[in-house]
Amino acid sequence: MDSKKITAPDGTDPIDFVDVLDTKQNNDSGSELQKDIYDDDAVDPIYRAKSHILNEAIQEIGMGRYQWWLFVVAGFGWFADSVWPVVSGLILTPAVNEFQFRPPFLSLAANMGFLVGAAFWGLGCDLVGRRWAFNITLFISGVFAIAAGGSPNFTTLAVLFGILGIGVGGNLPVDSAVFLEFIPGRNQYLLTIMSVWWAAGQLLASLLAWPLIANFSCPETTNQEACPRSQNKGWRYVMFLLGGLMFLLWVIRFFVFRLLESPRYLVGQGKDHEAIKVLHEVAAFNGKTCTVSVEDLQKVGENAGSPMKVNSFANVSRTSWIHIKRLFATKKMALSTTLLISQWGLIGLASTLYNSFLPFLFASKGAVFGDGSLNITYRNTAILSLTGVPGAFLAGWAVDLPFLGRRGTLMISCIVTAVLLFGTTTARSSNALLGWNCGYSFCSNIMYGVLYAISPEIFPARDRGTGNGLTALSTRVFGVLAPIIALYANIETAVPVYISGALIILAGFISLLLPFEPRGHSSL
């Protein structure tokens, strides 16, 4: 729209553009872009009305320079969230050879850090804003990753890995909220395509680990004295390089690109003036103008009715319990939140149980097939990471298809992922095992791309950090359980594969039960 008001045909009072937002066309998909996904009183009416004003203002500003910059710097969060869980598996074999510990303990330490980070940063960004969390998480990841590379023993390595996990765990809950809250509704599919950064993280970590660990590691031994630090520096080089890269990404975020506070967060705090100021700054950065004023927000708020009882509006964001309570305020919202938390937990357990020990699986299976060298093992891991990249783009296309949307795409990708996972148990050669896992990597990246997008789209911005934090907390809790299960199970058998596949199928069917479908709707 060219202006924020539409004059009536008879020249009388103008009509607020919120009243006609339902008829605005999504030029990218050809379908109507409607106000939001909620059809009940799940969201506070004052906040909801003001959010519609913000949505129209962002639509007016368009997908410009600021949003594309944000696509890059927010993508660093997906990148980091992918790199470090993969690295904990990539360095596992040489680290075990040097320090002689039981393999699941490193994954356990990392996932404990991810758990704390998801809870602290996810819930915290609804209390103190997005900017602090957005700028600190990568810094923590980089500094403590570099420190972990110099670990003299396993205890130090586990502690430092746990602390870097605290930074990593906060990336996706915060970064997905930040990106979604600045892009126009018709471009929300880009949140799904953001998972290309996740695939890129896996690929880069694998490409670095392949030559460094394969060429600078001691042969597999059962004797710690036979694998001294001087002959086993490959995994340390990986930690130094990736830690330094995280630090560089933080420098770009902090010094090159200045993140503005989310206008939706500010409106949720009752800071209408600051929200409008941010919109005008973004518009200026894009070379556009923004016609929305503080008076527009205040007027629509006055006409929206009374706030929900759980809302004291100006002070509501100071208590995390209020954010959690609002996510369960109605039966439909409670069902949606519960199903999303369950889905994240199931997929978190399944993927951690399988992915954390994938290099070990390749090495052990390769040994049986006669090609279990570190070179072949990490070559295969790099190939798998590469096959996951196109999955992100396919996911971004599929989520806007009629009759599929987010829920249908998520269900189908989960089921196909699980089937391919089961297929790995039939492999009778190293190449066959690689082929099945290539299919798994491709489809699982579609699954993750949709999962990482649908949750932020469903949660209202005022409680989005908390909602993202709860879902991330769920996947991290179950991620902690995965290595504990592995401690008492025989991970050299196909049992973890069968368990993982069954859990992913269950998560896929849960998609059909989600009461809200974000396709064709502007997120609040």
pLDDT of the residue at 306: 54
When pLDDT is cut at 50, 70 and 90, the band that residue 9 belongs to is very low
pLDDT of the residue at 24: 34
**Between 378 and 257, residue with greater pLDDT:** 257
Q: Average pLDDT, stretch 285-301?
A: 86
**What are the start-end ranges of the H helices in 327-460?**
331-355, 358-369, 374-398, 405-423, 430-458
Q: List the domain boundaries for the chain.
A: 65-260+323-511
When pLDDT is cut at 50, 70 and 90, the band that residue 93 belongs to is confident
Q: Average pLDDT, stretch 39-43?
A: 67
| Percentage of the residues of the chain whose pLDDT score is greater than 70 | 82
pLDDT tens by residue, 509-521? 999 999 888 887 8
**Between 369 and 179, residue with greater pLDDT:** 179
**What are the start-end ranges of the H helices in 170-271?**
171-180, 190-193, 195-215, 234-251, 263-268
Identity of the amino acid at 258: R
Contact, 88 vs 356, CB < 8 A? yes
Q: What are the beta bridge partners of residue 34?
A: 521
Look at the pTM and tell me if it is higher than 0.85. Answer: no
CA distance 55 to 43: 15
When pLDDT is cut at 50, 70 and 90, the band that residue 34 belongs to is low
CATH fold for domain 65-260+323-511: Growth Hormone; Chain: A; (1.20.1250)
Q: 185 is written with which tokens?
A: 């509704």
Mean pLDDT, the chain, integer: 81
pLDDT of the residue at 340: 95
Residue with structure tokens 């009759």?
403
pLDDT of the residue at 44: 75
Range scoring the smallest mean pLDDT among 192-196, 307-311, 356-360, 403-407: 307-311
Contact, 410 vs 447, CB < 8 A? yes
pLDDT at 374 over 80: no
